[in-house]
Structure 1
Amino acid sequence: MAHPTELAPSTSSNFDWLRRVGWLERIGLAGVLAITLIALIGPLLLPYDPMLRVGAAYLPPGGSFWFGTDEIGRDLFSRVLLGVRYTWLPGLAVIGVSLLIGTSVGVFAGMVGGWVDTLLQRVVELFLVLPSTLIALAVVAALGPGLLNTMIAITIFWWPWYARMSRDEVRRIRARPHVEAARIAGVKGPRLMLRYLLPGAAPALAVAATLDVANIILTLSVISFLGLGLPAPAPELGAMTSRSVDSLTTYWWLPIIPALVIFLMSMLANLAGDGIRSALRGA
């Protein structure tokens, strides 16, 4: 542990982590922050009502309609902007809930050990060996199309990855001298978990969760593409791409622009995950 006088270095050293992050990764971190802000305040930025006809059908990008209009005459930019909200925020919610469930199970299993650890790991392994995407599609089909049902289906098969990772991290951290010293001193239970075990596992979980945002976005988009997300005319990016894929050679902007936005969000999320991993390296 650093001496207290070492915890207040010069101002420039507070940004040492930034030197470990490449310029592409910085773009990813900035992009993730920008997308999150857009998703949160997106409805305030809409130039037109995304559900109403505001112009002629099939207008190409340009002029008053930056992304053109769709087959009904709705503004595609407004629909894509709202579609980012319907994809990004649910993705973050799935990551958050999965992380909470998985970390709780994994840390508890790693801390307690014994037959409890064995039992919980068998349950986790049962989920991990199942084809998660196919089962998630089956769960959504059984529960009925809808964004909430999609989020529930993905969460069911996502938390075990965090449970496995957090359990392995906790078992590794338990063997460290400062944890052994704390246990000998009588620290146990929730205090041991919250003060010694969980902080040690947090960096690896943070990196994994950030990198998983791209996978969650793609999974949500695939389910939406197959028509199991929000019902029409909700502007989900995957559904917008699916409904207009036949127009690829004529009105290319209808399927291409939503698909490019999905790709951009996934790429920025991956770059941000790499940035966080680089920032934590050697920290």
Structure 2
Amino acid sequence: MSVLERDRIIDESARQRLRDVRKKGRRFLQNPLSAVGLLIVLTVILTAIFAPVIAPYPADTGDTLHFDQTNEAPSIEHPMGTDTVGRDVLTRVMYGARISLLMGLVVVSIAVAIGVPLGLVAGYLGGWVNTVIMRVTDIFLAIPPVLLALSITAVLTANLWNAMIAIAFGWWTWYARLVQGEVLSVKEEEFVEASESLGASWPRVAFKEILPNIVAPLTVKATLDMGAVILVGAALSFLGLGAQPPTPTWGRMISIGRDHVTSQWWLATFPGLAISFTVLGFNLLGDGLRDMFDVEVEE
């Protein structure tokens, strides 16, 4: 096969992908639940970005204490009430969005950075390389991610970054497994054979030819995982293994509020609603992307 013929095949494939993306984009916007999910995610992201500007009491995210206004019920001055030391709950919920989104983004990024290359190598090379990588992956998959994260975090110093590392330590496996399966189905395509026939090296074929063609399932998986990671991160914070006080985190706020749930219901209710709202948004967005790309992704 000549170079011109190979370029023709690759160019035609790229044009076809562009047409498909436009068609699927229209399908995504026509799905009401997908649009709602996108709106929720954008709302949370914008709240996190502009929290220093829109939060009513930014100083309440630090060591500031207001013992003269402790445990005040929701009011015009404090729409979500105040906590046990007088800090504004709305402000802390807004800043908590920053921590949750940061955790989701960092964990998913680390998982993709580790799992995708391993999955590409395993799927493309096959043989003993595939066997070794997949058996190691299976070992990690046999351990529940939350249990693995709890074990690692308990050994390390309890802080935000160690919590993110602990979660990512077992999260990469899902991406390795997903990519390995996608590579097995894609590497027999015509454009891959065209590159191989011209003597392209296996890293070039794997990372330049195959990887761009499996971005859709990776995007869906990453979007759905954002919500899952936020939940796990909130669980670690709830147990005191995440970001430490006075840093506002939703899980820690719920942990403090659980002791006052019958008398000061707002302490745990509003952070809990924030978690539910955010996770719902990412799940709806992920489901919309899955329908748009017409891919099956294991959650």
TM-score with structure 2 setting the length: 0.87
Q: Distance in 2 between matches of 1:252 and 1:171?
A: 52
1:109-128 matches, cutoff 5 A: 109-128=122-141
* CA distance 1:7–1:165, change in 2 (3 Å): closer
- Identity rate of aligned residues, in percent? 36
The residue that corresponds to 2:44 in the other structure is 35
Q: Distance in 2 between matches of 1:87 and 1:125?
A: 28
The Cα shift of 1:235 comes to 1.1
* 1:47 and 2:56 are equivalent in the alignment: yes
Structure 2, gaps ≥5 residues long: 1-10
* CA distance 1:235–1:106, change in 2 (3 Å): same
State whether residues 25 and 292 of structure 2, in contact with CA within 8 Å, keep that contact through their aligned partners in structure 1.
yes
The Cα shift of 1:43 comes to 2.5
* 1:93 and 2:106 are equivalent in the alignment: yes
Which of residues 25, 38, 41 is equivalent to 1:17?
A: 25
Q: Distance in 2 between matches of 1:14 and 1:123?
A: 39
Structure 1, gaps ≥5 residues long: none
Q: Distance in 2 between matches of 1:194 and 1:134?
A: 33
The Cα shift of 1:69 comes to 0.8
State whether residues 53 and 75 of structure 1, in contact with CA within 8 Å, keep that contact through their aligned partners in structure 2.
no
AA of the residue aligned to 1:110: G
CA distances 1:143-178 after superposition (whole Å, capped 9, x unpaired): 021111100100000001100110111111011222
* 1:203 and 2:203 are equivalent in the alignment: no
Q: Distance in 2 between matches of 1:41 and 1:277?
A: 30
The residue that corresponds to 1:157 in the other structure is 170
* 1:173 and 2:186 are equivalent in the alignment: yes
Q: Distance in 2 between matches of 1:7 and 1:98?
A: 26
* CA distance 1:148–1:5, change in 2 (3 Å): closer
1:194-233 matches, cutoff 5 A: 194-233=207-246
Deviates more, 1:98-107 or 1:176-185: 176-185
What's the secondary structure of 1:84's corresponding residue? helix
CA distances 1:214-261 after superposition (whole Å, capped 9, x unpaired): 110110001111111122222110011011112111111001100110
State whether residues 146 and 230 of structure 1, in contact with CA within 8 Å, keep that contact through their aligned partners in structure 2.
yes
Task: Provide runs of 4+ in structure 1 moved above 6 Å.
Answer: 3-9
* 1:136 and 2:149 are equivalent in the alignment: yes
* CA distance 1:116–1:4, change in 2 (3 Å): closer
What's the secondary structure of 1:210's corresponding residue? helix
TM-score with structure 1 setting the length: 0.91
What's the secondary structure of 2:69's corresponding residue? coil
Q: Distance in 2 between matches of 1:264 and 1:62?
A: 22
* 1:277 and 2:277 are equivalent in the alignment: no
State whether residues 17 and 280 of structure 1, in contact with CA within 8 Å, keep that contact through their aligned partners in structure 2.
no
